[in-house]
């Protein structure tokens, strides 16, 4: 179970280290920055889960708060179509907007609902798994 949660989280983090060099469209840049920052928060929780960082419930819950706040911006950041050769966003986003918007609010609501629920190290893996599932649900359809 724990292994599965890690695997999902790793898939979600995937290309988190991608550089934004060469992105010219500022709207594309803005949405990438928000995604990157969501990824950074996941990494904070992930490194605690892996034992690379000391467990700190306050820090983990703060990361969830940040993920919820950033996810709340996904819809407005993507709503009007913007393209850039460096973008990994698929055109299906704007064709299936209702579905995309729904996946964005699912991520937000899931993160929001988890704030304050991390009280022990054992809570990290399941939290990453559940949250990672919401990232993957969108990335698998709408990200190259």
Is 135 marked within a binding site? Answer: yes
Unique residue bearing structure tokens 């950074």? 40
Q: Which of 5, 15, 7 is nearest to 88 (CA)?
A: 15
Stretch that binds ligand HEC, among 11-19, 44-52, 57-65, 113-121 (CB under 6 A): 11-19
Is 138 marked within a binding site? Answer: yes
Binds ligand HEC (CB under 6 A): choice among 45, 104, 114, 127: 104
C-beta closer to ligand HEC: residue 35 or 60: 35
Round to whole Å and give the CA distance between 27 and 42. Answer: 23
The answer to whether the CB of 113 falls within 8 A of the CB of 61 is: no
CA distances from 26 to 8, 44, 61, 129 (A): 30, 27, 31, 32
Name the site residues for ligand HEC (rule: CB under 6 A): 12, 15-16, 18, 20, 28, 31-32, 35-36, 38-39, 42, 67, 74, 87-89, 100, 103-104, 107, 131, 134-135, 138-139, 142-143
């Amino acid at each position: 179970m724990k292994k599965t949660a890690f695997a999902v989280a790793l898939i979600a983090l995937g290309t988190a280290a991608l550089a934004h060099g060469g992105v010219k469209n500022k709207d594309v840049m803005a949405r990438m920055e928000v995604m990157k920052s969501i990824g950074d928060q996941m990494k904070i929780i992930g490194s605690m889960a892996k034992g690379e960082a000391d467990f700190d419930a306050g820090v983990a819950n703060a990361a969830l708060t940040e993920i919820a706040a950033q996810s709340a911006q996904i819809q407005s950041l993507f709503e009007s179509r913007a393209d850039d050769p460096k973008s990994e966003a698929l055109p299906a986003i704007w064709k299936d907007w209702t579905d995309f918007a729904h996946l964005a609010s699912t991520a937000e609501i899931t993160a929001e609902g988890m704030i304050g629920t991390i009280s022990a190290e054992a809570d990290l893996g399941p939290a990453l798994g559940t949250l990672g599932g919401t990232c993957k649900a969108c990335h698998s359809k709408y990200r190259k």
